[in-house]
Amino acid sequence: MISPVKIWRRQKNIRNMLGKKGVVLSWTIIYTPSNDFKKSAPYPVLLAQLDSGEKVVGQYVGTLYNDLKIGMRIRTILRKTRITHNEDIISYGIKFTNEI
Protein backbone atom coordinates (compact mmCIF):
# COMPACT_ATOMS: atom_id res chain seq x y z
CA MET A 1 0.00 0.00 0.00
CA ILE A 2 1.30 3.45 -0.90
CA SER A 3 1.30 6.14 1.79
CA PRO A 4 -0.82 9.31 1.48
CA VAL A 5 2.35 11.42 1.77
CA LYS A 6 3.94 9.69 -1.23
CA ILE A 7 0.76 10.15 -3.27
CA TRP A 8 0.67 13.87 -2.41
CA ARG A 9 4.35 14.36 -3.30
CA ARG A 10 3.94 12.63 -6.66
CA GLN A 11 0.84 14.64 -7.55
CA LYS A 12 2.49 18.04 -6.89
CA ASN A 13 4.29 18.04 -10.24
CA ILE A 14 1.46 16.72 -12.40
CA ARG A 15 0.32 20.22 -13.42
CA ASN A 16 3.55 20.71 -15.41
CA MET A 17 2.84 17.59 -17.48
CA LEU A 18 -0.78 18.27 -18.49
CA GLY A 19 -1.63 18.86 -22.13
CA LYS A 20 1.82 18.05 -23.49
CA LYS A 21 1.95 16.41 -26.92
CA GLY A 22 4.30 13.86 -28.38
CA VAL A 23 4.67 10.59 -30.28
CA VAL A 24 4.53 6.90 -29.36
CA LEU A 25 8.00 5.29 -29.35
CA SER A 26 6.93 1.84 -28.15
CA TRP A 27 4.01 0.14 -26.44
CA THR A 28 2.85 -3.12 -24.88
CA ILE A 29 -0.31 -4.64 -23.44
CA ILE A 30 -0.39 -5.56 -19.74
CA TYR A 31 -2.43 -8.74 -19.22
CA THR A 32 -1.30 -9.68 -15.69
CA PRO A 33 -1.09 -6.52 -13.56
CA SER A 34 -0.49 -6.00 -9.86
CA ASN A 35 -3.48 -6.06 -7.50
CA ASP A 36 -4.07 -2.28 -7.74
CA PHE A 37 -4.64 -2.50 -11.50
CA LYS A 38 -6.47 -5.84 -11.92
CA LYS A 39 -9.80 -4.21 -12.77
CA SER A 40 -8.17 -2.34 -15.68
CA ALA A 41 -6.51 -5.33 -17.37
CA PRO A 42 -5.76 -5.77 -20.14
CA TYR A 43 -4.49 -2.26 -20.78
CA PRO A 44 -1.82 -0.64 -22.97
CA VAL A 45 1.25 1.08 -21.57
CA LEU A 46 3.40 3.16 -23.85
CA LEU A 47 6.70 4.96 -24.01
CA ALA A 48 6.24 8.40 -25.53
CA GLN A 49 8.62 11.14 -26.51
CA LEU A 50 7.07 14.51 -25.81
CA ASP A 51 7.65 17.43 -28.17
CA SER A 52 9.84 18.93 -25.41
CA GLY A 53 12.19 15.92 -25.75
CA GLU A 54 11.19 14.18 -22.50
CA LYS A 55 10.51 10.46 -22.60
CA VAL A 56 7.57 9.36 -20.43
CA VAL A 57 5.96 5.99 -19.67
CA GLY A 58 2.24 5.77 -18.97
CA GLN A 59 -1.05 4.04 -19.58
CA TYR A 60 -2.93 4.73 -22.81
CA VAL A 61 -6.64 5.49 -22.34
CA GLY A 62 -7.51 6.74 -25.79
CA THR A 63 -9.54 4.93 -28.42
CA LEU A 64 -9.23 1.18 -28.83
CA TYR A 65 -5.66 0.09 -28.40
CA ASN A 66 -5.89 -1.89 -31.64
CA ASP A 67 -5.26 1.48 -33.30
CA LEU A 68 -1.97 2.12 -31.46
CA LYS A 69 1.00 2.64 -33.77
CA ILE A 70 4.58 3.71 -33.30
CA GLY A 71 4.81 7.36 -34.34
CA MET A 72 1.16 8.05 -33.48
CA ARG A 73 0.53 11.50 -31.95
CA ILE A 74 -0.62 11.53 -28.31
CA ARG A 75 -1.22 14.07 -25.53
CA THR A 76 -1.06 13.85 -21.75
CA ILE A 77 -4.21 13.98 -19.62
CA LEU A 78 -5.08 13.69 -15.92
CA ARG A 79 -6.76 10.46 -14.79
CA LYS A 80 -7.20 8.35 -11.68
CA THR A 81 -4.20 6.02 -11.59
CA ARG A 82 -5.07 3.35 -9.06
CA ILE A 83 -7.78 1.97 -6.84
CA THR A 84 -6.65 2.45 -3.25
CA HIS A 85 -7.66 0.45 -0.23
CA ASN A 86 -8.37 3.65 1.66
CA GLU A 87 -11.37 5.42 0.11
CA ASP A 88 -10.19 8.81 1.42
CA ILE A 89 -7.22 8.96 -0.94
CA ILE A 90 -7.55 9.18 -4.71
CA SER A 91 -4.33 8.90 -6.68
CA TYR A 92 -4.21 10.88 -9.93
CA GLY A 93 -1.52 10.84 -12.56
CA ILE A 94 -0.63 11.36 -16.18
CA LYS A 95 -2.00 9.04 -18.84
CA PHE A 96 -2.08 9.32 -22.63
CA THR A 97 -4.84 9.76 -25.18
CA ASN A 98 -5.01 10.61 -28.87
CA GLU A 99 -3.89 14.10 -29.84
CA ILE A 100 -6.82 16.36 -30.67
CATH number at residue 79: 2.40.50
Residue 62's pLDDT band (cuts 50, 70, 90): confident
CA 63 – CA 55 distance, rounded (Å)? 22
Number of domains in the chain: 1
The DSSP bridge partners found for residue 78 are: 94
Question: Can you give the pLDDT at residue 33?
Answer: 79
Q: Which residue, 94, 50, 46, is CA-closest to 68?
A: 46
Backbone torsion region of residue 53, taken as left when φ is above 0, otherwise alpha when ψ lies between -120 and 50, otherwise beta: left
Q: What is the percent of the chain where pLDDT is above 70?
A: 70
- Asked if pLDDT for residue 60 goes beyond 80, the answer is yes
Contact 73/21 with Cβ under 8 angstroms?
A: yes
Question: Can you give the pLDDT at residue 93?
Answer: 76
- Asked if pLDDT for residue 1 goes beyond 60, the answer is no
Higher pLDDT, 22 or 40: 22
Question: Can you give the pLDDT at residue 87?
Answer: 61
Domain range for 41 is 4-98
